Amino acid sequence: KAGVTQTPRYLIKTRGQQVTLSCSPISGHRSVSWYQQTPGQGLQFLFEYFSETQRNKGNFPGRFSGRQFSNSRSEMNVSTLELGDSALYLCASSLMTGVQETQYFGPGTRLLVL
């Protein structure tokens, strides 16, 4: 079974631009979560989607948004990019049969904001 895939793997943007990152979960997985990883702050939870609904949200500004499609694929968008948004953005999926379950991570999208 294929793992979590993320596209693109690398991205360079300039301040003020916006960016959309894509995540395809493991087949059959219905929950998709997004995390930001930086050297200074480590791994931080952004949001989680299940059945096209955002169920949990971390402490990030409204510039960070996401959505999930009916096939469980998810996208996250960052508008008005800032230098501090440079990070590795990780997507994770889990089966979700009712209790917390293992989240499996993709390779991430490395975003550099200039």
Partner 1 sequence: GESVGLHLPTLSVQEGDNSIINCAYSNSASDYFIWYKQESGKGPQFIIDIRSNMDKRQGQRVTVLLNKTVKHLSLQIAATQPGDSAVYFCAESPQGAQKLVFGQGTRLTINP
What residues make contact with partner 1 under the rule CB under 8 A? 4, 31, 33, 35, 38-45, 48, 50, 55-56, 58-59, 90, 92, 94, 96, 99-108
**Which residue, 81 or 103, is less far from partner 1 as judged by CB?**
103
Q: What is the dihedral of CA 56, 59, 63, 68, to 10 degrees?
A: -20
| Beta carbons within 10 angstroms of residue 65's beta carbon | 17
CB of 54 to partner 1, least distance (A): 11
The residue type of 100 is Q
Minimum distance between the CB of residue 78 and partner 1, rounded to whole angstroms? 19
